[in-house]
Amino acid sequence: MTGTVRGEIHPGDTVDIVLKKDQATGKLTRGVVKEILTGSHSHPHGIKVRLTDGKVGRVKAIYPKKPLDERSS
């Protein structure tokens, strides 16, 4: 999932985002989604989110959650 469709992203998801200051280099920052900021259904550069640590950026990758029975203890 590339992060360009709002419906694919949910609070609690682990994602990679590009911060505004890192757009030129494309450096990615990993974190957990706290809030989805983009209101439209999709955005060609990625849906804008706020992470639990307060950082804001556009989603470039979404990491699927593992089912409870597949998580290691």
Decide if 69 is inside a domain.
no
Does residue 1 fall inside a structural domain? Answer: no
Number of domains in the chain: 1
Q: Is residue 12 part of a domain?
A: yes
Is residue 71 in a domain?
no
Q: CB of 60 within 8 A of CB of 48? A: no
Range of the domain at 48: 6-64
36-56 pLDDT tens trace: 999 999 999 999 999 999 999
pLDDT in tens, 16-26: 999 999 999 99
For the domain that residue 12 is a member of, what is the CATH number?
A: 2.30.30
The answer as to whether 73 is a domain residue is no
pLDDT confidence of residue 38 = 97
